[in-house]
A and B are shown apart, each in its own frame.
Chain A
């Protein structure tokens, strides 16, 4: 495909993203595995972009993981979603920001269902009233946090201290981007670039100096599989799917992977460890694995935030080689310290994966 045509595909579709006054919804997977990314997102919104974003104390699960694992019925999920919307309505907000890709899919699906089936909206209102006495309005705009970072990528670039450039060679870093399936595969028009040419992460990478790796299994699922990962005996499904992606990206020698879904970030990091321990195989040349970043970590590190406050020490594949390549300073002896500077025991070393 000629270059200009290719560029056009990836830029073709832009979704509507609100400007300000956001109501933030917390993801269970993101707060569990990447609490630092969450804090970084809120900090970027408030301190770098000057936005009003409300972190509501009374919020809770969207039940998305239970819904897709068949233990929560549709009627329950839609009403739990309605309660979250009622918190937004009560607080005087209209722009909803669900921080997980599964929740993004759930909220979008419920709102679309209510549009298609007004009787389901009535049913939801009735259930919510009966259970909690609450009323709600559906949001005017639903945007994933990665949409917002994408929207303001050039403003953020102005504030960045570093770029996605290898300081030893002067060349752009080669980045694999992975979009969580429920970001655009359910409702393609709700994702930047739609499902086939999602541009949300590619746009950040290109704006911040890097080069996107286009590899055959780019759109393949990370393999979460809901019930499959949650059931120990089915986890082979998850690791096999991620392995397929690693094998496909390996020849392109990526410098790192970035995803917009906390589940995908966690899996792509931890399955590299698993495969290294099981088969003594890594997908880089030196046995360390390919670092996997959340987009908040990518933005935060370029803005000059402390990698250990971003939570990059919680990755099993180490990030120091990447930080060195970019020229980001870090304090090795603070990596495993607590919030008050207390020295904690170091984590055990994996058998095969180099750390």
Chain B
């Protein structure tokens, strides 16, 4: 096993995101995830800055790093200009890289790769009404079901260009553009990450 702290440092975001945490807990006080889960961004920053390899490994293997909701409220309030949210993004990437995710987290990330990831590569957007299935989104209510069932009739009334060519909302993304996006994913490691996540057991 390599040096985990060094691995974190290799990410350009890390150094800027964690300078000197003074353990004040302001981030935890403002954090919506800390209200909902057994979760404490202050503790994450503290563990990481102490550079204890065993503790960092335990943290990387824990569910704790997966609780953050990425609202970035912690960035606004930290008196030391730390960004716990970004420390967490880096921890998560290292956990993925080293295969340290717990089985159920790996399964969740796999699902995200297969939904949002495929949407990006196939449709050109993270989210699209064709992919927000009412049966998987009961919280969207009967109005969403109505919209999805009648979208071809309703979308043009709202000025959208549903599945059309040219500009406008909900248009089909031309193949040459999707091709360039896919190429970017290949060159920059995006394809590898999606592949890793999809292969996780």
Contacts and interface: CB of A to CB of B under 8 A. Distances in A.
B16 A230 contact: no
A12 B116 CA distance: 39
Contacts of B127: 28-29, 32, 65
Given A241-B36, A273-B141, A350-B142, A35 B187 contact: no
B44 interface: no
A76 B185 contact: yes
B157 A28 contact: no
Contacts, number: 255
A11 interface: no
Among B75, B187, B193, chain A packs the most CB atoms within 10 A around the CB of: B187
Contacts of B159: 35-36, 38-40, 42-43, 309
A235 B108 CA distance: 13
A173 B178 CA distance: 46
B33 A131 contact: no
Contact of A338 (B150, B170, B171): B150
A329 interface: no
Interface string B142-173: 11111100100111111110000111111101
B12 A113 contact: yes
Given A339-B156, A347-B146, A227 B184 contact: no
B187 A131 contact: yes
A132 interface: yes
B142 A348 contact: yes
A76 B184 contact: yes
A174 B138 CA distance: 30
A57 B158 contact: no
B169 A38 contact: yes
Interface stretch (B1-9, B18-26, B50-58, B89-97): B89-97
A348 B115 CA distance: 28
Interface size class of B (residues with CB under 8 A): 35 or more
Contact of A73 (B116, B143, B154, B190): B190
A58 B174 contact: yes
Among A35, A61, A131, chain B packs the most CB atoms within 10 A around the CB of: A35
A230 B187 contact: no
Given A28-B125, A273-B141, A76 B76 contact: no
Contact of A270 (B140, B186, B188, B190): B140
A228 B68 CA distance: 9
Given A131-B187, A309-B158, A120 B12 contact: yes
A344 interface: yes
A60 B126 CA distance: 10
A221 B142 CA distance: 26
Given A65-B116, A66-B126, A113-B12, A344 B180 contact: no
A39 B139 contact: no
Contact of A221 (B32, B75, B116, B157): B32
Among A60, A69, A76, A128, chain B packs the most CB atoms within 10 A around the CB of: A76
B112 A231 contact: yes
A63 interface: yes
A31 B169 contact: yes
Interface in B68-99: 69-73, 75-76, 89, 92-93, 96
Interface string A314-352: 111000000000000000000011111010111111100
Nearest to B138: A274
A13 interface: no
Among B75, B159, B166, chain A packs the most CB atoms within 10 A around the CB of: B159
Given A182-B72, A237-B69, A339-B154, A231 B32 contact: no
B116 to A, nearest CB: 5
B29 interface: no
Contacts of A308: 157
Interface string B106-147: 001101110111001000111111001000101111111111
A224 interface: yes
Contacts of A241: 32, 35-36, 69
A233 B191 CA distance: 26
B197 interface: yes
Nearest to A316: B141
Given A38-B169, A39-B160, A73-B189, A347 B180 contact: no
A276 B60 CA distance: 39
Contact of B169 (A39, A273, A344): A39
Among B36, B70, B76, B142, chain A packs the most CB atoms within 10 A around the CB of: B70
10 contacts: A35-B159, A71-B113, A71-B197, A74-B12, A113-B12, A132-B184, A184-B76, A188-B76, A196-B76, A237-B36
Given A196-B76, A221-B73, 20 more contacts: A32-B128, A57-B167, A60-B173, A60-B178, A61-B181, A63-B120, A66-B126, A71-B113, A73-B193, A76-B190, A131-B183, A131-B186, A185-B71, A231-B108, A240-B35, A244-B35, A310-B158, A316-B143, A339-B155, A348-B142
